[in-house]
Structure 1
Amino acid sequence: MALAFNGAGMPLASLEGSPFNSFVIPGLILGLVVGGTQLLAALALLANRQWSLLASAVAGFGMLIWIFVEMAVIQGYSFLQAMYFGLGIAELALVLALLGVAAGALAIGHASADHASGTDL
């Protein structure tokens, strides 16, 4: 929440030309919306909820959208933006892997077990 109250060391000048005159609103959005969806997704995954992959996808896309909007508003670049963008991409890649690759691997393993036992007819 340091971003919400003092910009986490970012100069206030980086908000020039944006609709914000302080870091309070962007910091609260970042902490509550972006951080909140990430926390919800993590808790859902830990609790093995049926909707956990959907929550993770929403959180990953939320992070990417945040970075895009941040870069458009601030019109600058930081190493942290690239890092968090990469984490958002990684999160979405893991969701896709769990939806597609993991399910495909289970189906392949199941089909080969049926073939070996002669029940694939």
Structure 2
Amino acid sequence: MANTGEKPLGIPYKYVRLVGTREALNVFFQNAEIDLASEIQGIGRELLQAVEVAIRIDMPLVLNFQGVQRISSALVGKLVLLNKKTKAEGMKLEFREMSDAVRTVIQKVMWPTDSD
């Protein structure tokens, strides 16, 4: 881990894992399928906490979907709120390593096209 500049943050989260690098605060999801209502509420809270951490360390926030195969539209709703919060804070938010299924769900809600 030392060679990449990654540093796990010692904050206990149940649904996400935060890893700081020289470039960004990376958020990794703990589960491959994110579709339970109780889980989504918890993820929403933890993502907002991650925004606060990113603000404190003055870094962009990167949501890394590595290993996530399925998400519900309810989670996308949380991501829309997160996007609004980061914009209001003047922060950069990136989405990385999305599977085709995850990308499709997110694009339909967050970045719709005229053909959808």
TM-score (norm 2): 0.33
Query: Which structure has the highest helix share of the two?
Result: 1
Query: Which structure has the highest strand share of the two?
Result: 2
User: Which structure has more RCO (C-alpha within 8 Å, separation ≥ 6)?
Assistant: 2
